[in-house]
Amino acid sequence: MSNYVQTTFFTPKDSLPVGNPAKVIYGAAYDVEFGNISTAIASKYDSLSLPSAAVTALTGTANQIIASASVGAITLSLAPNVIIPAPGSGSALTLSGAANSYGEQITGSATTGQSYGVRILAGTNSADNALYVTNEVNSVAFLQLSGDGHGLIGPITWTAGGAVSIPAPTSGNSLTISGGAAGAYSVIVQANSGASVSFGQQIQAGTNNADMSFSITNQAASTFYFRVFGDGGIAVGAPTGGDQGIGTLNTTGLFVNGVAVSTGLGIAQKAIKVAQTSRASTTTLANDPDLAIAIAAAGTYVIEVLFGAYNTAGATVGISFNLNYSGTFTQTSSLLLAAGFTNQGNLIQTAVTTSAFSGNCNTANGAYNVLKATLVATGAGTLGFAWAQVNTNPTGTIVPAGSYMTITKIA
């Protein structure tokens, strides 16, 4: 847009004397002035010709454009690069969106390989923000990209080094990854390729057998295939008895190249004393801290206990003992292979205040004794070897290290 600038000034001609050539007014001078006026008028917009005084197109100078309109849209034809300098305070550019409209829309190039969207050169350290998106009242951060590279998307955060953290949600799963394309893995964890520095994946979860650190199910999550429990137990499929604690692999069967190795029969469980246990001045039976074995399922089990007994002072002190089972079972006979013991009888259930086997042995010589029994369990439980002194001798009776209990399932 251009403004009218007067070329010929006519008033000074009035004061010139008659005969002065400059006093003459020529038509050419009028043509110049009328041409300047015409150009200025043609480059201005006619507000009366536009509806509701709206501005639809505005061409500005090379350095500055000031435009306003009460209604309608403003279309600015600008140079290829527009620079908005940093203000002394406040925001360099504020865009307010109308209801149901975007505050800003950036349309990329239709030519393949030439559309780059928005590039933000901002931020140098963690105190800067390259991009910051909040709710309307600026109280909750939705998206933040900081100058050093750390940031967040909602509750998900990451550090400048790339460590991602997903906090526990108020409900549902922290992260759900849907299956990839046909024949592709849903997740691949690719560890470091360096020697002795590749640790794959670590799962820190679970504290007891009510927790699961790892679980694989069918697609509908209705059938368990593989589980690692919080207490360290592992279950393949859904075996009877479930979790058996740390160091165990509980399966319904074991096969090598399609050939059944075992279905649970003939597999012995063993509990071995690695340190002696001493008891003095007590006749109350109590389970030995080491000679106890958990039985996961109903079945018929053969039991053998090899135990020693001697007195610290070399005295002849009797030892009382029994086998007790915390689960339900069919009561069966047991046999003690040792001389000097009486009251051979049956297993008892749970109670350890009465001995099924008792007698005196010369504990001064540290003799070992063998107890054999058959247990027909009708439910899961723990089998324990309980013992005490026959009399309350103040010198301790000891069951030494090396004593053991074995349980073998035969049916």
What is the fold of 268-409? Jelly Rolls (2.60.120)
Residue 127 to residue 396: CA distance in whole angstroms: 70
Which residue's structure tokens are 């051979």?
344
Phi then psi dihedrals of residue 228, to 5 deg: -120, 120
Contact 353, 286 (CB under 8 A): no
Please state the separation of Cα 228 from the chain's center in Å: 16
Report the b/e string of 238-249 with b at 16+ CB within 10 A: ebeebbbeeebe
pLDDT value of residue 342: 42
Which residue ranges in the chain fall short of pLDDT 50? 51-54, 339-364
Please spell the DSSP secondary structure of 9-25, one letter per residue: --GGGGGSPTT-GGG--
Q: Which two tokens stand for residue 372?
A: 């054999």
pLDDT value of residue 362: 45
Which residue's structure tokens are 């246990």?
277
DSSP, collapsed to helix, strand or coil, labels residue 31 as helix
Residue 303 to residue 96: CA distance in whole angstroms: 82
The DSSP call for residue 86 is P
- 133's enclosing H/E stretch is strand 129-134
Predicted TM-score of the model (pTM): 0.45
Residue 255 to residue 273: CA distance in whole angstroms: 32
Which class for 141: exposed (0-12), middle (13-18), buried (19 or more C-beta within 10 A)? middle
SS3 content of the chain, % helix, strand, coil (to 5): 5, 30, 60
pLDDT value of residue 355: 35
Instruction: Please report, for residues 179, 203, 215, 216, 270, the alpha-carbon distance to residue 219 in angstroms, rounded to integers and kept in the order given.
Output: 10, 22, 12, 9, 38
Residue 107 to residue 118: CA distance in whole angstroms: 10
List the domain boundaries for the chain: 11-42, 129-165, 212-262, 268-409
The DSSP call for residue 411 is -
Helix extents (H) in 157-222: none
pLDDT value of residue 283: 84
295 has which bridge partners?
381
Q: 27: alpha, beta or left, given left = phi > 0 and alpha = psi -120 to 50?
A: alpha
Closest by CA to 405, choosing from 295, 256, 299, is 295
